[in-house]
Amino acid sequence: MEPGEPMAPGERVISIEVCYAEARAAIIRAYRLAQPACVADALRAAAADPAFAAVDLGGAPVGVFGRVVSPGTPLADGDRVEVYRPLAADPKSARRARAREARRR
Q: Quick: pLDDT tens for 22-52.
A: 888 899 999 999 999 999 999 999 999 999 9
Q: Which residues of the chain have pLDDT under 70?
A: 1-10
- Domain parsing of the chain, residue ranges: 13-104
d(CA 11, CA 101) in angstroms, rounded, equals: 59
* Single-letter amino acid code for the residue at 63: G
Q: Strand 62-64 and strand 26-34: pairing? A: unpaired
13-104 under CATH 3.40.50.360, yes or no = no
Cβ-based neighbour number of residue 55 at 10 Å: 19
Q: Give the pLDDT confidence score for residue 65 in this predicted structure.
A: 93
pTM of the model: 0.74
Q: Give the pLDDT confidence score for residue 7 in this predicted structure.
A: 60
Identify whether the C-beta of residue 81 lies closer than 8 Å to the C-beta of residue 17.
yes
Q: Give the pLDDT confidence score for residue 20 in this predicted structure.
A: 94
Q: Give the pLDDT confidence score for residue 8 in this predicted structure.
A: 65
Q: Give the pLDDT confidence score for residue 6 in this predicted structure.
A: 54
Identify whether the C-beta of residue 27 lies closer than 8 Å to the C-beta of residue 84.
no
Q: Give the pLDDT confidence score for residue 9 in this predicted structure.
A: 67
Q: Give the pLDDT confidence score for residue 4 in this predicted structure.
A: 47
* Single-letter amino acid code for the residue at 16: I
Identify whether the C-beta of residue 87 lies closer than 8 Å to the C-beta of residue 24.
no
